[in-house]
Amino acid sequence: MKKTELLYEGKAKKIWKTDDPNLLISEFKDSLTAFNGEKKDEQAGKGALNNKISTILFEYLESKGVPTHFVKMIDDNNMLHKAAEVIKIEVIVRNIAAGSLSRNLGLKEGKKLPFTLVEFDYKNDELGDPKLNDQHALILGLVKEQAELDYIRYMARKINRFLSEFYAQAGLKLVDFKLEFGRDANDNIILIDELSPDNFRLWDKDTNEKMDKDRFRQGLGGLLEAYEEVLKRIQNKG
């Protein structure tokens, strides 16, 4: 399968068309961004780590019956996946207070939430990805009906259960993470994008050491080493 035309370039990936209209290739970049692009860097090897981690997690979720766009990892930096119409909603799943939740609500970082919180953000860079409620999503036409939002929430919580168990076996806490969904050729809602420490907050189970992009956001250093450790642990979990 060969790349034919650049369809889209984002902060962390390039999306390429192929000679099959139903298949695309995601090329994982070494770019790092934070704070809506205000902080930027390049770290060689980061894209390959994210591709490998995402591949393991997509394969795991597929084995649990979660429908995704994943087809296969082509090489270190490229993943083949189904074409899908992106639903312009970022789904934020939170188990432990951190990041914007701590800042906005005054919750102490590390506080375990009494239940899994699922939030929606509007995928719109010009507006700064504002928070959405169900009525906003329906007014904007991001989904066809309330039942689709209910399904997305249900799948987000289901994915959270699977991944929390998976990471726990690797000695990691799943603090929070971002998911994206899209519609496949049959109009089914499926999981898309990537599943990597760029989009996940992961802490060591015993020490609470941060093993994700917060190492870049907060200037802690050692990002590649943390991502390499995550990959090692999930490859050898259990």
C-alpha span between 178 and 119 (Å, rounded):
10
- Per-residue pLDDT of 124-169, as tens digits, reads 989 999 999 999 999 999 999 999 999 999 999 999 999 999 999 9
- Residue 136 burial (C-beta neighbours within 10 Å; 0-12, 13-18, 19+): middle
Give pLDDT, residue 35.
80
C-alpha span between 122 and 176 (Å, rounded):
18
Residue 145 lies in a domain: yes
For residues 17-38, average pLDDT: 92
C-alpha span between 226 and 208 (Å, rounded):
13
- Mean per-residue pLDDT of the chain: 96
- The answer for residues whose C-beta is within 8 angstroms of residue 10's C-beta and 6 or more apart is none
Specify the pairing of strand 189-192 against strand 13-18: unpaired
Give pLDDT, residue 236.
79
* Total count of domains within the chain: 2
**High-pLDDT (> 70) share of the chain, %:** 99
Boundary residue ending a domain (65, 82, 99): 82
Residues 139 and 180 in one domain: yes
Give pLDDT, residue 44.
96
Cβ atoms < 10 Å from Cβ of 88: 18
Give pLDDT, residue 88.
98
**Residue range(s) defining the domain that contains residue 115:** 85-222
Q: Which two tokens stand for residue 130?
A: 């504002």
pLDDT of 237 above 80: no
For residue 82, what are the CA distances in angstroms to 55, 69, 92?
Answer: 14, 5, 23
Residues 93 and 74 in one domain: no
Residue 36 lies in a domain: yes
Query: What CATH code is carried by the domain that includes residue 59?
Result: 3.30.200.20
Query: Is 83 within 8 Å of 23 (Cβ atoms)?
Result: yes
C-alpha span between 235 and 237 (Å, rounded):
6
pLDDT of 14 above 70: yes
pLDDT of 238 above 50: no
Q: Among 114, 149, 125, which Cα is nearest to 135's?
A: 149
Residues 40 and 89 in one domain: no
Residues 33 and 90 in one domain: no
Instruction: With cut-offs at 50, 70 and 90, classify the pLDDT of residue 73.
Output: very high
Helix (H) or strand (E) holding 55: helix 46-63
Instruction: With cut-offs at 50, 70 and 90, classify the pLDDT of residue 1.
Output: confident
C-alpha span between 171 and 173 (Å, rounded):
7
pLDDT of 2 above 50: yes
- Per-residue pLDDT of 167-209, as tens digits, reads 999 999 999 999 999 999 999 999 999 999 999 999 999 999 9
Q: Which residue has the higher pLDDT, 2 or 70?
A: 70
Residue 96 lies in a domain: yes
